[in-house]
Structure 1
């Protein structure tokens, strides 16, 4: 005999559809939005001959200057072996170079090259129309609000990650 389950005791089943009220809804929506945004960024980068993982490292290098590989791991959320492969790719393409760190022969810093900076700038130009398409359903005020809200989620005031 089947148990009588009233609607009040039925657990919420998580989905990733609009209107989901489960506690996982926000995370699932963010994941779906991330996949869509990543696809748009990959589309912008593809003609330039790099992938999003390469661009993530170039972002750090353009922002921070020469950066040791262990700090690239933390900054990109990648693993050590992944960062090594990415830096190898960037070096082969002439977009970055490894340099010895004075005072520590075991540590190498990665530095973006002038060619890497040119590609970095070209990527921004190529991404502009695609980024606009990504938020085409939003008004300019809503797009700015979304950026603000996502920034506050990604970088909480308490500094927790």
Structure 2
């Protein structure tokens, strides 16, 4: 092997192209799918004046009810500073409020407002036609199959995510 010749390896190299067989192929494909879906969902939210990071917090609040900020950060994969900015945005827009937590003077729970619930419902209505376009290339039953596979991949039966 000369100094100018590329080093050959038996392990395929990640290329981020369809059909890539490298060990990174699945992760790269999931990243690209996330970017695509996030762009489509972002378009649905744009007319409502919020972003996906705002909707992620509203989803947790609708699901869990009032939630302390550290739990919001964990549930949305955000950090402490990031979740504070999102909650600040939601409060400024009248979509959520911070309330004191009885028994803990430092903790603040975030609660969705009636206006936040209205916007949450409007976001789902706005997303419907875009989701249909997102999965338009899939055949009958495949959107449900994709959802099932991604759910099992994300939430394995053993509880390890």
User: Structure 1 length normalisation: TM-score?
Assistant: 0.95
| Runs of 4+ off more than 4 Å | 3-7
Q: Report what 2:159 is aligned to.
A: 159
| Cα-to-partner distance string for 1:104-139 (whole Å, 9 max, x where unaligned) | 111100000000000000000000000010000002
| Cα-to-partner distance string for 1:75-128 (whole Å, 9 max, x where unaligned) | 000000000000000000000000001111111000000000000000000000
Q: Report what 1:37 is aligned to.
A: 37
Unpaired stretches in structure 2, ≥5 consecutive residues: none
CA RMSD of aligned residues (A): 1.7
User: Structure 2 length normalisation: TM-score?
Assistant: 0.95
* 1:10 CA displacement: 4.0
Answering whether residue 63 of structure 2 is matched by residue 63 of structure 1, we say yes
Unpaired stretches in structure 1, ≥5 consecutive residues: none
| Cα-to-partner distance string for 1:22-73 (whole Å, 9 max, x where unaligned) | 0111110000000000001100000000011001000000110000000001
* 1:158 CA displacement: 1.0
Q: Matched residue of 1:140: which SS?
A: coil
On the 8 A contact 2:11/2:22 being kept in 1, the answer is: no
Aligned residues: 160
